[in-house]
Amino acid sequence: MKSLPRRVFWPLLPFVLLVAQTATGLFFLRSATTLACALAVLFKSRTPRRGIVVAGLLVSLVADVVLGHSHGRTEWFLCGLSLFLVAHLLLIAFCLSHGRPRPVVAVFILIPLLLFYVLMLRPGIDTPAMRCGVLAYTMVTGLSLSAAWGLKPTGSLLHVLFLLGILSLAFSDTLIALRLFCGIRGIYFLMLPTYLLSHCLVALALETEKGSTEV
């Protein structure tokens, strides 16, 4: 049996980096946290098609860097948003390869999200390109939630932790949207921790799924 430090290194590393980033605010720790999550999945998990999740995490890393340096430039923002959309699609692909679509769940999620966009977000968006981008991302977020809901086996650690990860990501995205397009700050300070937590939970879901191996 591997020693305890070896066995807990990959599961704990992303969470340690998350706490360090929250405490210091250092930008590079944002990327380090997501990179650690991708490496944890790559080295610690034996889940079939885990490479899709690794790719999704790495795309998210690039997207975060792009958005972090957008500085109000619409083109950069839309580029980062598009990359995050691709990351969502990769996570959806993984979920569908380990579960089945849930159309009813998707409808119940997408209708409130569409109303949220129309009633709250769209009035604060100036350009057609931005409106299309935000609408597309909002709908894909809903599809991610419904896809994670359909993961099999239901109630497993893979299912529960992955779903919590996507919920955490959706919560973080909601805080961003409320701040940018509605001027509501409120608990915006939770945006970055919940964003990074989503990656940590997704990585942990694959690490704890049956069949994972120790490195």
Residue 36's domain spans which residues? Answer: 4-208
Dihedral through CA 115, CA 118, CA 123, CA 128, nearest 10? 150
Evaluate whether residue 155 is within a structural domain.
Answer: yes
CB 202 within 8 A of CB 161: yes
Name the nearest CA neighbour of 148 among 82, 62, 53.
Answer: 53
Residue 17: pLDDT over 50? yes
Backbone angles phi, psi at 214, to 5 degrees: -95, 140
Quick one: 108 exposed, middle or buried, by C-beta within 10 A (0-12, 13-18, 19+)? middle
Evaluate whether residue 215 is within a structural domain.
Answer: no
Name the nearest CA neighbour of 45 among 199, 188, 205.
Answer: 205
In this prediction the pTM is 0.93
How many folded domains does the chain comprise? 1
What pLDDT, on a 0 to 100 scale, did the predictor assign at position 213?
A: 37
Question: Which pLDDT tens digit goes with each residue over 139-161?
Answer: 999 999 999 999 999 899 999 99
DSSP notation for 148-197: HHTBSSTTSHHHHHHHHHHHHHHHHHHHHHHHHHH---TTGGGHHHHHHH
What pLDDT, on a 0 to 100 scale, did the predictor assign at position 3?
A: 56
Confidence band for 10, pLDDT divided at 50, 70 and 90: confident
CB 130 within 8 A of CB 74: yes
The residue assigned the tokens 């997408």 is 110
Evaluate whether residue 214 is within a structural domain.
Answer: no
Evaluate whether residue 114 is within a structural domain.
Answer: yes
Evaluate whether residue 213 is within a structural domain.
Answer: no
Q: How many angstroms separate the CA atoms of 89 and 86, rounded?
A: 5
CB 112 within 8 A of CB 91: no
Residues 105-122 have a mean pLDDT of 97
Residues 74-81 have a mean pLDDT of 95
Each as own residue / partner, the long-range contacts of residues 193-197 (CB below 8 Å, 24 or more positions apart, any chain) are: 193/18, 193/22, 194/168, 194/169, 195/64, 195/168, 195/169, 196/14, 196/17, 196/18, 196/21, 196/22, 196/30, 196/33, 196/34, 197/18, 197/165, 197/168
Helix 191-208 vs helix 27-44: crossing angle, to nearest 10: 10
Residues 194-207 have a mean pLDDT of 97
What pLDDT, on a 0 to 100 scale, did the predictor assign at position 210?
A: 61
Question: Which pLDDT tens digit goes with each residue over 32-41?
Answer: 999 999 999 9
Could you give the percent of the chain with pLDDT greater than 70?
Answer: 94
